[in-house]
Structure 1
Amino acid sequence: MTAPGTSVGGSEPLPRPRSALHAQTWREIAHLLANLPVALLGFVYATVVLAAGSGLTVTVVGLPLLAGGLAGARWIGRFERARARSLLRVRVDEPSPLPRVKDEGMFGRLWTGLKDPVGWRTMLYSFIRLPWGVVTFTVGFVSLFLLWPVLPFITRGLTNVDRAMVRGLLSPSDELERRIAELESDRGVVVDTAAADLRRIERDLHDGAQARLVNLAMGLGLAKEKLVEGESDDLVAAMVEEAHGEVKLALQELRDLARGIHPAVLTDRGLDAALSAVASRCTVPVTVTVDLPARPAAAIEGIAYFTVSELLQNVSKHSRARTASVDVWRTDRRLLIQVEDDGQGGAELSGGSGMAGLAERLGAVDGLLAVDSPPGGPTTIAAELPWRDRDRDH
């Protein structure tokens, strides 16, 4: 048996098998070779838009043409960010969209488009990319056939420059713009959550209180007919008694529904009393400690209430705990919540207990949710919300 690379029967040595390049290296090579055609298209677009828009500024179409070209440049930037994410595995957030100008007329919208920093940075990117695209295409193509042993190092060095360009010119320009982009994304979560809550309320009304009220109306109608027909008092009394029971059940369901929307005890007495009421309905004993110097804004107070309510429901349904505790306090400009139980643990943000949805809803208002729940327990869940003073709501 011969070793790899030795001769067989006096023939020339067999070539050693060439190891395949890593998949990421092939993606980087593809990015480098695509740079030239993509950069050429971007350069032509930017040149035509700027030349035509600047040359026609003396007419009524020059500035609108330039503003439209800058809006189109945003699509180039979107494509390049997607290409970088796919081939270079670089995370680049999308910049915030152009602000909507409602009451400033056509000139207000035109001026907003002309001063768009995202569009101007994309134009600059398109100009820089053409000479760089020529370099990367040439070096990448030559290295692919002539410099195979060092190809991974060359491609990594060139694509690192690409990554720097994308991050520097095509990412949100500052922290404020990144935050605006995040809030635009979170707004969708808030809208979806509100729509789901409205559907739940509609379903509960239709299947619960509304159905009982319909049965009540039918029962009272039959009782009225029996009275007109002269039926016995006992029969009519039984029908009225049944209708009375339906009324009590419908009222209870309406109270439960109202509590699920916004409990009266929260409005009247604040988080301490409201969370104590929630804790009393939990299947395990819960200790509640609320240490707040004042009541937060109503919106923050409501979110804190429903966060604790959902977490205690999870304790009742999934934890198998013997005891639990709820602590609420304020630090600087944050409202902090901590829910602990001595149950079996294993809670995860990606699990099916609604924890992921709760984290999304908190994130939509600049809040946080952290879970520490090793198998076997105990479980500690911490939530943060921004503090806003209550008097700002009035």
Structure 2
Amino acid sequence: MDTVRENDTRGDLPVRPALPRPGFNRRMWSEALFLLLNLPMSIAGFVLTVTGLCLGAGLMVTIIGFWVLAGSLFAIRGYGRVERGLIRSLLGEDIPEPLPVGAGRDGGSIWQRLFDVLSDGLSWRTALYLFIKLPWGIFTFTVTLVALIVLWPVVPWITRGLSTVDRMLAGSLLAPAKLTQRVRELEQDRGTVVDSAAADLRRIERDLHDGAQARLVALAMDLGLAKEKLTEDPEEAARMVSDAHGEVKLALQELRDLARGIHPAVLTDRGLDAALSSVATRCTVPGGVRVRADLPGGTDRDSRPDSAVEGIAYFTVSELLTNISKHAGARTATVDAWRSDDRLMLQVGDDGHGGAVESPGGGLAGLADRIRAVDGVFVVDSPEGGPTTVTVELPWRTRGRA
């Protein structure tokens, strides 16, 4: 198998593409509709905000005022969900939905729930958004309506500019706080890691039970029979011992393969560079695998990525090369690995028939989940007819290490 190691450097992953150039298209009409709806939506939101907050504040001389204020904030939060849905459907801006108020707390008294609502930052930011939205809604409605009547040639640029301000305003005030979003991601990642670990344990148990364990049980039985025949038929006993010796070799090979599947010795001893070259030799594409790596190796752990990151990178490349061998119909494959600032970058490509997709429950989705669980990035570019390129970005150091 052809494996080549070269020094190579790559740039960062491409950033999110900008919005297409303004024009008389479906997007323009969606933006215009959103800007015209700004006025009735902003009036309704402003009335809800001012009425609810003023009524709650006025009644706070009694305990009823706190409940009125909490109910108003809860309604304002719900109105923010309507705004996010409208922005998502008409402006194409995917603002993530927040966690429910008090998420992550099991139970809690009624007073604790009241405090959660009153101290919810998103509810207060949504109230600010609805308060600001009234003058902005009047302005956008007026400008859009006039533009549609008398400024027709420049309508796409006007709607794009006004809707961009709406996107920024909603992204700043209606999106969940970064810390809250990070908590949600960590909860999802924790579930992914637990499921992956459980699946790995089941695989190891199955491999041991069906492979080495079964072979060792049969070996023990054969040696028992050989012991019984040792005095009666020495030649037959010798033959049985010779067969048992062969079974021992096979059992040891299975155990070595299993240990390599858990964590290969070459990865620990020589680093990711040498490990990738080793795994590339086992890929069965006819033209071989070209490996280009610019990574530190050897026993100097300080210069290498974290061991957990090395393990994820190794098994990701190993799984991708296995998929190429089985499904891609490729003649050649490439593996590139390099460091970009504090990130470990990997690219695995092939010249096969393409069409690889990250479908739920599929192998690529499983790899993507593992990578994203450590704040990584997993991107598949595989048009029909090929070629296929999978780009992986991992942190050089996991959180908690410099």
Percent identity between the two aligned chains: 43
- Greater Rg by CA: 1
Moved more, 246-255 or 280-289: 246-255
Q: Which has the higher contact order (CA 8 A, sep 6+)?
A: 2
1:156 deviation in Å? 6.9
Give per-residue Cα distances to partners, 1:214-263, cap 9 Å, x unaligned.
686588579879999x9976889888888877776566545444433433
Q: CA deviation at 1:278?
A: 1.6
Answer yes or no: is the 8 Å Cα contact 1:300–1:385 preserved in 2.
Answer: yes
Q: Deviations 1:269-289 (Å, cap 9, x if unpaired)? A: 422343233233223355464
Deviation for aligned residue 1:23: 6.3
CA 1:214–1:35 in structure 2 vs 1: closer, same or farther (change >3 Å)?
Answer: same
- Greater shift, 166-175 or 69-78, is seen at 166-175
Distance in 2, matches of 1:354 and 1:158, equals 45
Q: TM-score normalized by structure 2? A: 0.62
Q: Match of 2:303, SS?
A: coil
- Asked if 1:300 corresponds to 2:300, the answer is no
Question: In the alignment, is the contact (CA less than 8 A) between 1:25 and 1:152 conserved in 2?
Answer: no
How far apart are 1:305 and its partner, in Å? Answer: 1.7
Residue 209 of structure 1 corresponds to 208
Partners of 1:344 and 1:375 within 8 A in 2: no
After superposition, the C-alpha distances for 1:15-63 in whole angstroms (9 at most, x for unaligned) are xxxxxx9766776687577667655653454244313432343445644
Distance change in 2, residues 1:240/1:109 (3 Å): farther
* Post-superposition offset of 1:170: 2.7
Q: Which residue of 2 aligns with 1:271?
A: 272
Which is worse superposed, 28-37 or 279-288?
A: 28-37
Q: What is the DSSP-based 3-state SS (H/G/I as helix, E as strand, rest coil) of the residue aligned with 1:171?
A: helix
2:28 and 2:160 in contact (8 A); partners too: no
CA distance in 1 between counterparts of 2:253 and 2:64 reads: 66
Report the RMSD for the aligned CA atoms in angstroms.
5.6
- Give the counterpart letter for 2:357 in structure 1: S
Q: Relative to 1, partners in 2 of residues 1:162 and 1:290: Cα closer, same or farther, differing over 3 Å?
A: closer
Unaligned runs of 5+ in 2: 1-23, 297-301
Contact conserved, 1:337 with 1:383, CA < 8 A, in 2?
A: yes
Distance 1:119 1:312, change over 3 A: same
1:59-92 deviation line (CA, Å, top 9, x unaligned): 4564465355434433221221112222x23314
Q: Separation in 2 of the partners of 1:128 and 1:285?
A: 59
Map of 2:128 onto structure 1: 124
Q: TM-score, normalised by structure 1?
A: 0.63
- Structure 1 pair 225–320 and aligned structure 2 pair: CA distance change class (3 A): closer
1:51 aligns with 2:60: no
* AA partner of residue 291 (structure 1): L
1:73 match: 76
Structure 1 residues 142-291: aligned runs within 5 Å: 163-164=163-164, 166-173=166-173, 177=177, 181=181, 184-185=184-185, 188=188, 191-192=191-192, 195-196=195-196, 198-199=198-199, 201-203=201-203, 205-206=205-206, 208-212=207-211, 213=213, 217=217, 252-283=253-284, 284=288, 286-287=290-291, 289-291=293-295
Alpha-carbon distance in 2 for matches of 1:273, 1:314: 21
Partner in structure 2 of residue 344 of structure 1: 351
* Separation of aligned partners in 2, 1:176 and 1:339: 35
Partner SS, residue 330 of structure 1: strand
Structure 2 Cα separation of the partners of residues 65 and 258 of structure 1: 63
Asked if structure 1 preserves the Cα contact closer than 8 Å seen for 2:292 and 2:336, the reply is: yes
Task: Tell me by how many angstroms 1:119 deviates.
Answer: 1.6
